[in-house]
Amino acid sequence: MNLEIHPALPRRKDFRIGILGSGFIVNDCHLVAYRKAGFNPVAIASRSRENAAKVAERHCIGKVYDGYGQLLDDPSIEVLDIAVPPNVQLGLILEACRRKSVKGILAQKPLGMNYQEAVQAVEACEQAGIVLAVNQNMRYDQSVRAGKALLRNGTIGEPVFATIDMRGIPHWMPWQKDLGWVTLRIMSIHHLDTFRYWFGDPERIFCSTRPDPRTTFPHQDGICTYILEYASGLRCVGIDDTWTGPAKEGAPADIHIGWRIEGLNGLAVGDIGWCKTPYTTPSTVRYGARGDAAFHQPKWNESWFPDAFIGTMSQILIAIESDTEPAIGGRDNLQTMALVEAAYKSADEHRAVGLSEISSVQK
């Protein structure tokens, strides 16, 4: 069975890509994937020119700029790949829209500091005629795409119940201490977007959070649990446990991320390789339907990090060359941002919050 784990690729691969940012995600994921796919990153800028130069040397990038503004002023750049902290991203998007020189922008998730910032980014790009896509890269994890294929082709039938269970210890970024939020906008956003990718938009979400004992700076959304309710009766449950027990304090560790989709006709179970050592460990899936004697267990060599980033860049290049919406377009991603905002509101008010409460009021 074709589980469609590989993304479609653009006909043209030589779009001139400018990179804003030079951290781990650029150095070890974006650019590794782009070179593997044959894409064409030609320039880079960062807060630190020295760090940008090191990344450029590793990945054979010809131009290193002293700052973001110099790269944005380069009229030869066709696509911007933005990988900066969320409190910086909107300003760069607005500056690019003011110049109107690029054809497309691939923005990081979260698209903004909040839903309203995401709306600003989407509207600015639409007014400037710039294609905006969002780097919700879990959609291109191979097991997640296999799950989508099994839903699309009817193998497991109508979905009844689905879960994503993360027992992992992320490496928080320094800027998160300043912003005061942790898991919902950084980790849970992947899982909420994946539920949307698989099943569409829920009617409402109930979310409960507590601080993570290991994270010392003030925050509320350390450990997050949430239930998504769909009109069809489908229920999705997410557990994002960044504590996982005292795994770093001397206790035995049981670190993993798994997902499960139960349908009327079958079952699919995935195991995400990102949290394993090395981080390039492939994810896996096993699935079975009525009449199967055992689970099917396909294998592949690709992994979420870095191979998923081929898909996130491909989607915007395809959109530019075919004049269509990206697979993860900015306007579609507003619903993921609304779901995250609804989760915060639900946790604050201790009630289920409808997606429409966010997306209809704040636009």
Element (H, E) at 125: helix 115-128
Range of the domain at 250: 141-304+338-349
337: which 2 tokens? 């941002």
What 3-state DSSP class applies to 5? coil
For residue 7, is it within any domain?
Answer: no
Q: Are 151 and 195 in contact (CB under 8 A)?
A: no
Exposure b/e, 187-212, CB count within 10 A at least 16 = b = bbbbbbbbbbbbbebbebbbbebebb
For residue 355, is it within any domain?
Answer: no
Same domain? For 64 and 208 the reply is no
Q: Provide the β-strand partners of residue 19.
A: 44, 81
pLDDT digits (tens, 9 = 90+) for 243-289: 999 999 999 999 999 999 999 999 999 999 998 988 899 999 999 99
CA distance linking residue 237 with residue 307, whole number of Å: 27
88: which 2 tokens? 């910086």
Same domain? For 106 and 232 the reply is no
Q: What is the CATH number of the domain that holds 320?
A: 3.40.50.720
Same domain? For 148 and 252 the reply is yes
Same domain? For 344 and 325 the reply is no
Element (H, E) at 258: strand 256-263
Exposure b/e, 103-138, CB count within 10 A at least 16 = b = bbbbbbbbbbbbbebbbbbbebbeebebbbbbbbbb
Same domain? For 229 and 131 the reply is no
Helices vs. strands in the chain: H and E counts, helices first: 12, 14
Q: Are 194 and 144 in contact (CB under 8 A)?
A: yes
For residue 361, is it within any domain?
Answer: no
Q: Write down the pLDDT at residue 363.
A: 43
pLDDT digits (tens, 9 = 90+) for 163-200: 999 999 998 988 999 998 999 999 999 999 999 999 99
For residue 9, is it within any domain?
Answer: no
R_g of the chain, CA atoms, integer Å: 20
Q: What is the chain's pLDDT, residue by residue, as a tens digit (363 residues)?
A: 899 999 999 999 999 999 999 999 999 999 999 999 999 999 999 999 999 999 999 999 999 999 999 999 999 999 999 999 999 999 999 999 999 999 999 999 999 999 999 999 999 999 999 999 999 999 999 999 999 999 999 999 999 999 999 999 998 988 999 998 999 999 999 999 999 999 999 999 999 999 999 999 999 999 999 999 999 999 999 999 999 999 999 999 999 999 999 999 999 999 999 989 888 999 999 999 999 999 999 999 999 999 999 999 999 999 999 999 999 999 999 999 999 999 999 999 999 999 999 986 554
Same domain? For 255 and 188 the reply is yes
Does the predicted TM-score (pTM) go above 0.85? Answer: yes
Same domain? For 152 and 246 the reply is yes
Phi, psi torsion values for 162, nearest 5 degrees: -140, 145
For residue 212, is it within any domain?
Answer: yes
